Amino acid sequence: MDSETKLLSAAKAGNAQAFERALRPHLPMLFAYSRAICGDFHAAEDVVQETSQIAYRKLNYLIPEADFAGWLKAIARRQALAARRKLTKASIVAENVIEKIYQDPTSAALDRRGEALEVCLKQLDGRAAEAVRAHYFDGVKLNELAPKLSMTPAAVRQMLHRVRLVLLECVQKRLGVESLT
């Protein structure tokens, strides 16, 4: 944190590189959070970009004792909600769950559970792996993905649901945690 504080001090003095270095560790969380809110891969990338630019412009409003990641997250939230309003008129669902999962801005992929999930992910194969890769890592929408997999969108949806359950079981086995049910 000390180094982040120093980087932010330098950034406030106009050092853009220092800002980039302070920002970089938080980008995955910002992307994931924005995607959870606005529900769109590409819009989430835009949200992250604009959040970063706003943060840089407003950096002098960041008080020293504030949590930088939390501050970024608050900006991203507003931008993501705005993006969502453009994409759909449906109100956000399970917002409380989202906020709870993202309460801790520390990257979830880097903790023990996150690492276990990454290992489990690598154990997927076949169309399941392909679907996860395309949907998550390339941002392909279900209705675009279905023809590529020679499946219906509903079948892809069901497959993704099963993949989540498989991943859940796999992580539980790796960590020895008790079943949800």
Partner 1 sequence: MKLFTCDQARAAVSDLLAGDLGMADGRSLEAHLAGCDGCTRAAEVFFWQDRVLAELTAGDRLDTIMGRIRAGIANDTPKAVTDRVRAVRVPRPRWGMAAAAAAIFVVAVVGAIAFLRPTPPATGVAAQPHRQTPAFPAPVAPANEKPVIHDHPEYVPPPPKPRPGPAVAVEQKPRVPDRVEKRPEPPPPKSPDVPNPVKQPARVENKPDGVAPQIDLVKTPTLAVQFGVAYLRGRMARGVNREPRGDELILWTLIHSGVPESDPDVQRLLTSMLERKLEKTYNVALQAMILEDLDRVKHQGRIAQCAQFLVDNQAKNGQWGYGEPSIFVESVAVATKPAVAPAKAQKAVKEFPAAGSRGPKPEVKTFVRIRKMRPGPEGGDNSNTMYAALGLRACADAGIELDRAVLQLAYEWWRRAQVRESKTPAYGGEGWCYGGHDHGHRGYGSMTAGGVGSLVIYNYLLNRDWTRDQNVKNGMDWLAKNFTVTENPGPSEHGGRPGAALYYYLYALERAGILYGTEKIGRHEWYPRGVEMLLENQQTTGAWASRDGGNEIHDTCFAILFLRRAVPALPPPVATK
Residues 68-87 that bind partner 1 (CB under 8 A): 70-71, 73-74, 77-79, 82-83, 85-87
CB-wise, 31 or 174, nearer to partner 1?
31
The nearest distance, CB 103 to partner 1, in angstroms, is: 5
Residue 15 interacting with partner 1 (CB under 8 A): no
What is the number of residues in the chain? 181
Tokens of 86: 């453009």
CB-wise, 141 or 173, nearer to partner 1?
141
Greatest extent of the chain over all pairs of C-alpha atoms, in Å: 55
Tokens of 88: 């759909």
List the one residue from 4, 12, 15, 54 that touches partner 1 (CB under 8 A): 54
Tokens of 179: 């079943």
The angle formed by the CA atoms of residues 151, 154 and 156, to the nearest 5 degrees, is 55
Residue 122 interacting with partner 1 (CB under 8 A): no
Number of residues that bind partner 1 (CB under 8 A): 86
List the one residue from 7, 8, 40, 134 that touches partner 1 (CB under 8 A): 40
Residue 107 interacting with partner 1 (CB under 8 A): yes
CA distance 136 to 109: 14
Specify whether the CB–CB gap between 26 and 72 falls below 8 A: yes
The nearest distance, CB 3 to partner 1, in angstroms, is: 18
Residue 130 interacting with partner 1 (CB under 8 A): no
What is the SS3 assignment for 43?
Answer: helix
CA distance 102 to 44: 15
The nearest distance, CB 131 to partner 1, in angstroms, is: 10
